[in-house]
Structure 1
Amino acid sequence: MSNIPETGRTPRVQIRLVIIQILVFSLLLTLGGRLWYLQIRNGQEYTDEAKNNGVQRVVQPAVRGSILDARGVALADNETRLVVSASRTELMKMPDDGKAVLTRLAEVLGMQPKEVMDKVRLCDAKTPKPCWNGSPYQPIPVTDEATTQQALQIRERAEDFVGITAEPTAVRRYTAPGKANTAQVLGYLSPVTDGEIEKAKDSESPYLRSDQVGRSGLERTYDKALRGKAGVTRYEVDNLGRVIGESDRDEAQAGSNLVTSIDARVQAVAEYELNWAMKEARKTFDRNTQRTYKADAGAVVVMENKTGRVVAMASQPTYDPNAWVGGISAKDYAALTSTESNFPLLNRVIQGQAAPGSIFKVVSSTAAVRAGYEFDGNYPCPSSLSFGGREFKNFESKGYGSISLGRALEVSCDTVYYGLAYNEWQKDGGIKPKKDSKDWFYRTAHDFGLGKETGIDLPNEVKGRVPDREWKQKFWEANKESWCKTGKKGGDYAEQVAYENCLEGNQMRAGDSVNYSIGQGDILVTPIQMATIYSAIANGGTLYDPTIGKAVISPDGKSVQEIKPKSHGKLPMDRKTRDKIDKALAGVVTNGSAAWRFQGWPHDKIPMHAKTGTAEVFGKQTTSWFTTYTDDFTIVMTISQGGTGSGASGPAVRNIYEAMYGLNEKGEQDLKRALLPKPQTSLPKVEPDGTIEAPEVKPYEPPKPEEEAGEPLGDQQNQNQQNQNQQDQDQNQNQNQNQQDQQQDRDTDQLAGPPARRD
């Protein structure tokens, strides 16, 4: 065995260790150099590339909840349509801003290129409709009526239609069951704007760019409940757009259903009868203007007395709300906003303002009682009264002797109210008011709720106007400069009025108070205000906030949030006065100004109350008003430039009642044909799968001509119609005389305001 010295192996081991150390150190240097190269040398480049990796959101729109009538019939729901949309983001990347693509798209869709381009341009202060008022980053619908063939052409030729999509999409549908349009009540939708998205981003219900929001009507008031919550799936993608994986998912939540108090059957009747009444008015000759009545607008509302819930609400002219679905065309938008069409977007039940005429006398009667006059006292009802040297005539210049306030309501005696208002005007100091003036006639109107909103659950309700001393002063301050520029002493009628208003337009003159007492002059009311007042008289004195929404029900039917009736006050009268006014209004339809319209009515079974009104509007024909109520319902109808209250609106209102109560031409009730003899109290049931069992709504079949007045149109009824027409003409002649007298005496007698109009 040989002996090998250890010193012989040591150098070789050391060499190996050195080599290993060199290799390790070289690897560390290489790794460090690579890290320096990636993070320092090219760090910004790779950072910029990494920014292109991110999360892509895919939005699944929520199904908007349905709007239902009181029995579960859909007034607004959703349907699937082929929607063609354009992406402005993609179009703006093209050299021609996508004009070539849109031109090809127009050819496929059978549209004009300009029409397509107008739809995708953005709205601003200078851009007329149609234009896109939603987010510029959201696909813009071009049409929701694409055919399958058109959609296939677009998808098969994707290279020719960059930025264009064609796919099935759920869109809003307004169903018009039984031809119940309900347009102004339902409202319409339009895309959310960037401003709205920004404003709501920190709220409980933020918007997504794909959202549609309510712009008017119930769609706007209950938008949050109806809209639901869109679903969002987030995908991780690389800089080339390739999906790396799913990040997270928020499931879409369908919107809740809104149950309303609208009855689609009664709504259809109300719409038909309002339209019919206006057509009939246009056939009636107005001797005052020597032409037929224009009857250019109208409104009717049916309300439950004990809850304030609205059963039907119609406004004319009207429109098809489906015109807004998928983006409104230039032609449709022009028709909806033009003077020629008389602005059909307006809901004239809550936005139409006019002088009320004699239906205001329930307010004046209450004011007189509050001022200390006995309701059953005797008040002179002469054929005319003179104030300041000017004569104010009664209807047909007919006097009734000394009568009570109740009888004055029945026969609509103007001179009774003229005298009471003039006395109170004098007590308050006349044109130089006392510091402690009571102003009972004006204060009472405010206490009835006039001059402010009723609180109905619809947007953009107007207040009307009570022309008290405060209003007179503010109105004079706002218009004095204009009046002084255009006024001329001894000029024509308008110049003379402007001249006088310049000098003393802030004074409460005798003529203002006298005309105001019979619902004339500067006072303005809306149909919903008068319906609220008359339903309060019917229910004993409670002023309810009118409501259309009745309940919000979740998509699965498990959650039901009822919208309870709310009151905003009481009528400013005691029970005794209320009962006497109620009795007088019953007398209007038995032996008063509306009796000829309710011949054969079963008063013993269905007590009817009413008040007629014919209001003068300067430069126009008279406004027809007809207010009525039974134990359960109030109906108010008005027709602009339609003639007298009972003459123009009376038959249509009676027809609505007959359909609701199931009355035939003999006044006999058949509950099988009655649409709504009692208010609907139960709610429709929503099944767990979202289905709703709803009854069919058949189109309204109007009564035959010989049945329209409640009985065959015989000689007596023909004579009644002729008498009423003659009364209207006599009334107009009296009105002309009042206008002439006013123009002659205006600068000396301190009387003012439009001339009085009587029933």
Structure 2
Amino acid sequence: MTAASHRSRLRLIVIQTLVFSLLATLGARLYYLQVISGEEYQGQAASQSVREIVVQPQRGLIVDAMGRPLVTNRLTWVVSMDRTLVGRMSEADRTELLARTARAIGVKVPRIRAKLLLCGDEGSVAGECWNGSPYQPVPIAQDVKETAALRILEQPEDFPGVVVDRQSVRQYPSPYGINAAHLLGYLSPITKEELEDAEDDGDSSVNGASVVGRAGVEKEYDEFLRGQPGYQQVAVDSKGRVRQDVSDLAAQPGDTLVTSIDANVQSVVEEQLAKMIQTQRNTLDPVTDRKFEADSGAAVVLEARTGRIVAMASQPTYDPSVWVGGITDKQLARLYSEAAGTPLLSRAFQGQFAPGSTWKPFMTVGALTHGYSPDTILPCSSAVQIGNRAFHNHESSAYGPITFARALEVSCNTFFFQVGMHFWQTLGSDPDDVNAKDPLVSQAEKFGFGERTGVDLPGEASGRVADRKWKKAYYESMKNYYCGIADKPQDAKTSDFVYKFAREFCIEGWKYKITDSANFAIGQGDTIVTPLQLARAYAALSNGGTLWEPRVGKAVVSPDGKVIREIAPKKERQLKIPKKVLRYLDEALQGVASRGTMAWKLGGFPLDKVTIRAKTGSAEVYGKQSTGWVASYTKDYVVVMMISQAGTGSGATGEGVRAIWEALYGVDGDQVREGRAAIPGVTQPATLPTFGDDGSILPPARKEQ
């Protein structure tokens, strides 16, 4: 054998050895993958074809005190798209799929593309983009017609990656035709920030497809109403078509919220408020010689002994169902539009207005507990000269020397001007002293004015008690603005009033003058209240001095009918008012209803059977028509109605307030027929509605209260 042959043979052996080694290594690797690690990789392979679908829970019901449904749910067809599968398609196939889907469901392609974008991605639009998991089907259309949904379901090969299912959305049964939008609130999709916060807190009750409460009790009790989502795992093929269910974790429906609202009373309140507004819009204002604007209004009915809200209405209002399925830009713009009256704002607990003469009963309490007595007599002249200005009574009426009771009956401004000026002169005649005592201010604060009531509704306004400290703080915050106007020559855009005010404000705008004290005593000037604040203060007059935190929620009940949480009335404070003062005031306000400024609207009403106490008020607002108020109460209820730019209190709202009292007590002419009362038995039962095993909700069984 030659040396060359030997070398060739050696190379062949080496090559054979290498090939054998490679084959052995490959075989060993295959054995490891298929035998030793086979189950692990098989599981991983299977998991890649398993898709997790979030099953949204049915949101809890909202019912009134009698069990009538105020907010329920209805089923709707929802079409979603699998972003992952659609993203794998070629541009041509994706374009064709989107066009075909758009035609089927009646949604334009650009809108579908916008919904498929993840929030935060380039080109994404808040409210349109997807907040949830990128691996979860993205809802692109709601309330899809059944024919379109069935077509997609029956032709899956034409709609790869398109998912169709039925989901529940909010529905408003409107018993007795009520609206109650500001009480109930609305829902909208969860934001990216909210979702991230929930994930950080370990809150699994929300996900990218969740809707959450944005106003009213929908927001306040959202954690109970929202329920717990479920999760369904399904096996899909390479085209995203579902082949079989793998596992299923059922969603847990939300709890039911029982409210203190009575739908029957709510309907009467809404109807009367709207009617009074419309009436005033067709009535000539004798002061301005044009029809009243009557641009907004509110009405509240409280249980005097508990602070529970029985009914509450605000105008303008809106249809809460506009939020279901997504609100349009045009609809949203109208809700925030000042030209439309800002319908989203609840005047009942978010609107702030000068209280006018409805303020005088609280000033009476302050006076009678700080030196004055029921026997005090002061002159009710047509006007009082304060400095270089005459302060007048309404229509410059004069009633001679009168008591506090008579001053309340005829709503004498000059009487209360003197009370306010007396305390200024004796306790705080230095206009620069921000710490001077003022019994009228302190009494107003004790009744809860200038602070939120604590009602279980979000976004409540605090009102304002315009005392010395507030005036000084306001001056500090606004002096640059007004001094800037005053330091320049008056231009065409600045009215004489504004220019004069700016100059005076710049020079001594922090001073609390005797005129401020006089105005404070009659509910004018810079003091503002919400109708709800006024109602709960009158409830304290009715119930002996207890100031309650108003409540809409009454109980939270699980889907199987078990009471999870009872929402008891919460006492904020007990006012230390002598009983003789409350009795005196009570009798005086009865006089307002029977022979005072409210009497002309209560002619023929059986006041001997239903004893109403009332106070009217007309608040003047610069550049606008007067705001009309009536605040009234019995031992059971408080009724307050307010209409902005509608004239005198009884003239603007008196008939509506009377109609509400007639409904509450079943008044028919001069007779009281309890069987016709809006609430059976006149007052609400102490018990909750009865929840049946079959899901039915029946009225409460009445007990002795």
TM-score between the two structures when normalised by the length of structure 1: 0.81
The structural deviation recorded for 1:31 is: 6.2
SS at match of 1:294: coil
Equivalent residue, structure 1, for 2:17? none
Equivalent residue, structure 2, for 1:195? 193
The structural deviation recorded for 1:91 is: 5.8
Q: 2:114 touches 2:125 (CA, 8 Å); kept in 1? A: no
| 1:669 equivalent among 656, 672, 676 | 672
For 1:230-629, list aligned pairs within 5 A: 230-234=229-233, 250-434=249-433, 437-487=436-486, 492-629=496-633
The structural deviation recorded for 1:510 is: 2.0
Q: Compared with structure 1, are the counterparts of its residues 219 and 399 closer, same or farther at alpha carbon in structure 2 (3 Å cutoff)?
A: same
| 2:145 equivalent among 140, 144, 147 | 147
Instruction: Render the CA deviation track for 1:162-184: whole Å, top value 9, x for unaligned.
Output: 55443322111111111111111
The structural deviation recorded for 1:72 is: 0.6
Write the distance in 2 (CA, Å) between the matches of 1:454 and 1:97: 59
Instruction: Render the CA deviation track for 1:307-359: whole Å, top value 9, x for unaligned.
Output: 11111111111111111111112332222222222111111111011101000
Matched, 1:685 2:684: no
Instruction: Render the CA deviation track for 1:487-545: whole Å, top value 9, x for unaligned.
Output: 26995111110121122211112222211211111111001000000111111110111
Equivalent AA in structure 1 for residue 341 of structure 2: N
Equivalent residue, structure 2, for 1:135? 132
Equivalent residue, structure 1, for 2:8? none
Q: Compared with structure 1, are the counterparts of its residues 143 and 343 closer, same or farther at alpha carbon in structure 2 (3 Å cutoff)?
A: farther
Write the distance in 1 (CA, Å) between the matches of 2:412 and 2:359: 13
Q: 1:56 touches 1:237 (CA, 8 Å); kept in 2? A: yes
Write the distance in 1 (CA, Å) between the matches of 2:511 and 2:124: 45
Write the distance in 2 (CA, Å) between the matches of 1:48 and 1:520: 80
Matched, 1:70 2:65: yes
Write the distance in 2 (CA, Å) between the matches of 1:50 and 1:115: 36
Moved more, 650-659 or 366-375: 366-375
The structural deviation recorded for 1:152 is: 2.9
Write the distance in 2 (CA, Å) between the matches of 1:247 and 1:49: 13
Equivalent residue, structure 1, for 2:9? none
For 1:71-86, list aligned pairs within 5 A: 71-86=66-81
SS at match of 1:169: strand
Equivalent residue, structure 2, for 1:698? none
| 1:30 equivalent among 17, 20, 24 | 24
For 1:649-728, list aligned pairs within 5 A: 649-664=653-668, 666-676=669-679, 677-693=682-698
Q: 2:67 touches 2:258 (CA, 8 Å); kept in 1? A: yes
Q: Compared with structure 1, are the counterparts of its residues 158 and 421 closer, same or farther at alpha carbon in structure 2 (3 Å cutoff)?
A: same
Q: 1:489 touches 1:499 (CA, 8 Å); kept in 2? A: no
The structural deviation recorded for 1:439 is: 1.8
Equivalent AA in structure 2 for residue 316 of structure 1: Q
Q: Compared with structure 1, are the counterparts of its residues 472 and 132 closer, same or farther at alpha carbon in structure 2 (3 Å cutoff)?
A: farther
The structural deviation recorded for 1:646 is: 0.3
SS at match of 2:279: helix
Q: Compared with structure 1, are the counterparts of its residues 533 and 88 closer, same or farther at alpha carbon in structure 2 (3 Å cutoff)?
A: farther
| 1:169 equivalent among 167, 174, 182 | 167
SS at match of 1:168: strand
The structural deviation recorded for 1:241 is: 7.9
The structural deviation recorded for 1:433 is: 4.5
SS at match of 2:54: strand
Write the distance in 2 (CA, Å) between the matches of 1:172 and 1:655: 32
SS at match of 1:302: strand
The structural deviation recorded for 1:149 is: 1.6
Q: 1:428 touches 1:434 (CA, 8 Å); kept in 2? A: no
Equivalent residue, structure 1, for 2:7? none
Write the distance in 2 (CA, Å) between the matches of 1:579 and 1:155: 73
The structural deviation recorded for 1:139 is: 5.0
Write the distance in 2 (CA, Å) between the matches of 1:327 and 1:668: 50
Could you say what the CA RMSD is over the residues aligned between the two structures, in angstroms?
3.3
SS at match of 1:349: coil
Equivalent AA in structure 1 for residue 357 of structure 2: S
The structural deviation recorded for 1:581 is: 1.1
The structural deviation recorded for 1:104 is: 4.7
Moved more, 623-632 or 486-495: 486-495
Q: Compared with structure 1, are the counterparts of its residues 688 and 446 closer, same or farther at alpha carbon in structure 2 (3 Å cutoff)?
A: same
Instruction: Render the CA deviation track for 1:189-243: whole Å, top value 9, x for unaligned.
Output: 1222232222123346542223221111111111111111112245689999899
Equivalent AA in structure 1 for residue 355 of structure 2: P
Write the distance in 2 (CA, Å) between the matches of 1:395 and 1:345: 34
Q: Compared with structure 1, are the counterparts of its residues 441 and 206 closer, same or farther at alpha carbon in structure 2 (3 Å cutoff)?
A: same
Q: Compared with structure 1, are the counterparts of its residues 446 and 93 closer, same or farther at alpha carbon in structure 2 (3 Å cutoff)?
A: farther
Matched, 1:58 2:62: no
Aligned length: 664
Write the distance in 1 (CA, Å) between the matches of 2:86 and 2:336: 31
Q: 2:269 touches 2:312 (CA, 8 Å); kept in 1? A: yes
Q: Compared with structure 1, are the counterparts of its residues 372 and 294 closer, same or farther at alpha carbon in structure 2 (3 Å cutoff)?
A: same
Q: Compared with structure 1, are the counterparts of its residues 119 and 406 closer, same or farther at alpha carbon in structure 2 (3 Å cutoff)?
A: farther
Gaps of 5+ in 1: 1-25, 696-759
Instruction: Render the CA deviation track for 1:437-457: whole Å, top value 9, x for unaligned.
Output: 212222221111011110100
The structural deviation recorded for 1:628 is: 0.8
SS at match of 1:646: helix
Q: 1:447 touches 1:572 (CA, 8 Å); kept in 2? A: no
The structural deviation recorded for 1:141 is: 4.5
SS at match of 2:349: helix
Write the distance in 1 (CA, Å) between the matches of 2:464 and 2:93: 52
Q: Compared with structure 1, are the counterparts of its residues 243 and 283 closer, same or farther at alpha carbon in structure 2 (3 Å cutoff)?
A: closer
Equivalent AA in structure 2 for residue 265 of structure 1: N
Q: 2:690 touches 2:699 (CA, 8 Å); kept in 1? A: no
Q: Compared with structure 1, are the counterparts of its residues 96 and 177 closer, same or farther at alpha carbon in structure 2 (3 Å cutoff)?
A: farther
Write the distance in 2 (CA, Å) between the matches of 1:112 and 1:638: 46
Q: Compared with structure 1, are the counterparts of its residues 583 and 326 closer, same or farther at alpha carbon in structure 2 (3 Å cutoff)?
A: same
Over the matched positions of the two proteins, sequence identity in percent amounts to 42
Equivalent residue, structure 1, for 2:3? none
SS at match of 1:624: strand
Q: 2:301 touches 2:639 (CA, 8 Å); kept in 1? A: yes
Gaps of 5+ in 2: 1-19, 491-495, 701-705
SS at match of 1:350: coil
Equivalent residue, structure 2, for 1:229? 228
SS at match of 1:441: helix
Matched, 1:186 2:184: yes
Q: 1:130 touches 1:333 (CA, 8 Å); kept in 2? A: no
Equivalent AA in structure 1 for residue 145 of structure 2: T
Q: 1:129 touches 1:333 (CA, 8 Å); kept in 2? A: no
The structural deviation recorded for 1:465 is: 0.8
Q: 2:53 touches 2:137 (CA, 8 Å); kept in 1? A: no
Write the distance in 1 (CA, Å) between the matches of 2:237 and 2:164: 27
Moved more, 51-60 or 479-488: 51-60
The structural deviation recorded for 1:591 is: 1.0
